[in-house]
A and B are shown apart, each in its own frame.
Chain A
Amino acid sequence: MNMNERFEAYIASDAKIEPKDWMPDAYRKTLIRQISQHAHSEVVGMLPEGNWVTRAPSLLRKSILLAKVQDEAGHGLYLYSACETLGVSRDDLIADLHSGKAKYSSIFNYPATSWADMGTIGWLVDGAAIMNQVPLCKTSYGPYARAMVRVCKEESFHQRQGFQILLALCNGTEEQKAMAQESINRWWWPALMMFGPRDEDSQHTEESMRWRIKRFTNDELRQKFIDMTVPQAELLGLTIPDPDLKWNEERGHYDFGEINWEEFYHVIRGNGPCNKERIAARQQAHDEGAWVREAALAHSKKRAAQSSTHAA
């Protein structure tokens, strides 16, 4: 058996790969792409919500939203650290985000235009993310799996607080309920797109499944998400904006309408409503924070130099 065959057999036995273990270049590259994309999504994901921190309707809602945004920052950091164990530097990862070479979840290229969106993002966007992330707790690369365990523990609060925002609006005035419905109308389809292209169009699925990086296909997860979400929408009294959505007794699943794949690829290629704004905001934060990073490093170097003089 050569190295490659040994690796494939090892993975097939459901064993975990750790940073210093031998791995094929393609496995390493796939992981770097997926983990960094995941980290970037957490970080860019702070932007639409950060937009509402100062406009949350109460002090409690503001505290909750702040805690959620802080969690997203934390998730980004766990994932960047996991990615760096593959031998890539944090600076390179961030440079790839800013240059557009690395992608992040397309969902964050849509604007959050009403308070109800904070509810919908928690319920649908974090709900879809959880669906994707729970199987990743068992992914074959150890550091990624461990980071995902932490992320998943924290993500559940995000979804519940979102649902509760919508519940409050749906039990409120006519205008509040209309605000919630309008929000669902905008976010439903982009949320379904979060699971990625159809299985037959997904270039990475087959290999990632064999390497046990992914444990379920895009279409399987999308169907699971829809089946779980429809009853929750009924509970809220909101209508899912899909005339073709119907329970299929035979399949034991909901049938649903055709996703607008043209829109999906349009947004991925950088032409969504907020792509340019999101990257510009990240780039600006990075540039304006440069002096802080440099000053902190200069300070620590100076202190280290002082203490070594004292010691001598």
Chain B
Amino acid sequence: MNASNAWPLWEVFVRSRQGLSHRHVGSLHAPDAEMAIQNARDVYTRRQEGVSIWVLPASAITASSPADKDCLFEPANDKIYRHPTFYDLPDEVKNM
């Protein structure tokens, strides 16, 4: 089988129970979305790990580049005033 005949790659997300969000669990190959869900059922939920599955083509994901890590995430480092613990309040203020 050459590369153009290979089944595309799908990323699999599973909701473990109602009330929680879907979480990335891994990936698999399948010819189409329907088969990807079938395969995901067998590969990732053999022990009641989920109640709902999302699959999406791996090629549809746009990821940030590791090289941009600093310029994307560093600006948050010096903004500690965004956290509640930054503010010292008198003890008389009990719960805030």
Contact = CB atoms under 8 A, between A and B. Distances in A.
Interface of A: 18, 20-22, 67, 70-71, 74, 77-78, 81-82, 84, 89-91, 146-147, 150, 154, 290, 293-294, 296-297, 299-300, 303-304
Please tell me the size bucket of the interface on B. 20 to 34
15 contacts: A18-B66, A20-B63, A20-B65, A74-B43, A77-B28, A84-B27, A89-B6, A90-B29, A91-B1, A91-B3, A91-B6, A150-B26, A296-B35, A297-B31, A299-B31
Contacts of A21: 66
A214 B7 CA distance: 32
A81 B1 contact: no
A84 B9 contact: yes
B37 to A, nearest CB: 13
B3 A22 contact: no
B34 to A, nearest CB: 8
Interface in B1-55: 1-3, 5-7, 9, 26-29, 31-32, 35, 42-43, 46-47
Contacts of A77: 28, 43
Given A20-B63, A154-B47, A300-B32, A293 B1 contact: yes
A81 B66 contact: no
B15 to A, nearest CB: 17
B66 A20 contact: yes
Contacts of A70: 42, 46
Contacts of B26: 78, 81-82, 146-147, 150
Nearest to A294: B5
Contact of A300 (B29, B35, B42): B35
Interface in B37-96: 42-43, 46-47, 63, 65-66
Contacts, number: 56
Given A81-B26, A90-B6, 20 more contacts: A18-B66, A20-B66, A67-B46, A70-B46, A74-B43, A77-B43, A78-B26, A81-B28, A82-B26, A91-B1, A91-B2, A146-B26, A147-B26, A150-B26, A290-B1, A293-B1, A293-B5, A297-B5, A297-B7, A303-B32
Nearest to B27: A81
A22 B29 contact: no
Interface of B: 1-3, 5-7, 9, 26-29, 31-32, 35, 42-43, 46-47, 63, 65-66
A3 to B, nearest CB: 12
Grouping DSSP codes into helix (H, G, I), strand (E, B) and loop, the A interface class, with mixed when no group exceeds half, is helix
Nearest to A297: B31
Contacts of A71: 46
A290 B1 CA distance: 8
Contacts of A290: 1
Contacts of A293: 1, 5, 7, 31
A74 B41 CA distance: 11
Contacts of A146: 26
Indicate the member of A90, A147, A299 with the most B CB atoms within 10 Å.
Answer: A90
Contacts of B5: 293-294, 297
Nearest to A295: B31
